[in-house]
Amino acid sequence: MSFMQVVDLKVHYPIRGGFFNSIIDWVYAIDGIDMELEKGKTYGLVGESGCGKSTTGKAIIGLEKITSGKIFFEGEDVTKERKSRTSHFHREVQMIFQDSHSSLNPRKQIRDILAEPIRNFLNLTPHEERKKIDELLEIVGLPSESKEKYPHEFSGGQKQRINIARALATNPKLIIADEPVSALDLSVQAQVLNFMKDVQKKFGLTYLFISHDLGVVKHMCDYIYIMYKGRFVECGTKKDIYENPKHLYTKRLLASIPSLIPVGREKRKQARQEFEKVYEQHIHKAFDENGRVFDLIPISNTHYVSAASAKEVV
Ligand SMILES: Nc1ncnc2c1ncn2[C@@H]1O[C@H](COP(=O)(O)OP(=O)(O)O)[C@@H](O)[C@H]1O
Ligand SMILES: [Mg+2]
Q: What is the mean pLDDT of residues 150-156?
A: 93
8 A C-beta contact, residue 174 and residue 205? yes
Of 30-34, 37-41, 258-262, the least confident: 258-262
Q: What is the mean pLDDT of residues 82-96?
A: 86
Distance 53 CA to ligand 2 centre (A): 6
For residue 240, pLDDT beyond 90:
yes
Percentage of the residues of the chain whose pLDDT score is greater than 90 = 69
Binding site membership of 13 for ligand 1 (Cβ less than 6 Å): yes
Beta bridge partners of 228: 231
What is the number of alpha carbons within 13 Å of residue 253 lying toward its C-beta? 28
Distance 45 CA to ligand 2 centre (A): 11
Q: Torsions phi, psi of 180, nearest 5? A: -65, -20
Element at 31 (helix H, strand E): strand 22-37
Binding site membership of 27 for ligand 1 (Cβ less than 6 Å): yes
Closest ligand 1 atom to Cα of 58: 17
Per-domain residue ranges for the chain? 238-314
For residue 100, pLDDT beyond 70:
no
**pTM score of the predicted model:** 0.93
8 A C-beta contact, residue 209 and residue 224? no
Report in angstroms the alpha-carbon separations of 70 from 27, 74, 78, 95: 20, 13, 8, 19
Vertex 293 angle, CA 290 and 299, to 5°: 140
Those residues whose C-beta lies under 8 Å from the C-beta of residue 149, and which sit 6 or more positions away, are 109, 110
d(CA 32, CA 11): 8
Distance 257 CA to ligand 1 centre (A): 23
Pocket probe for ligand 1: among 10, 12, 13, 53, the residue whose CB has the most ligand atoms within 8 Å is: 13
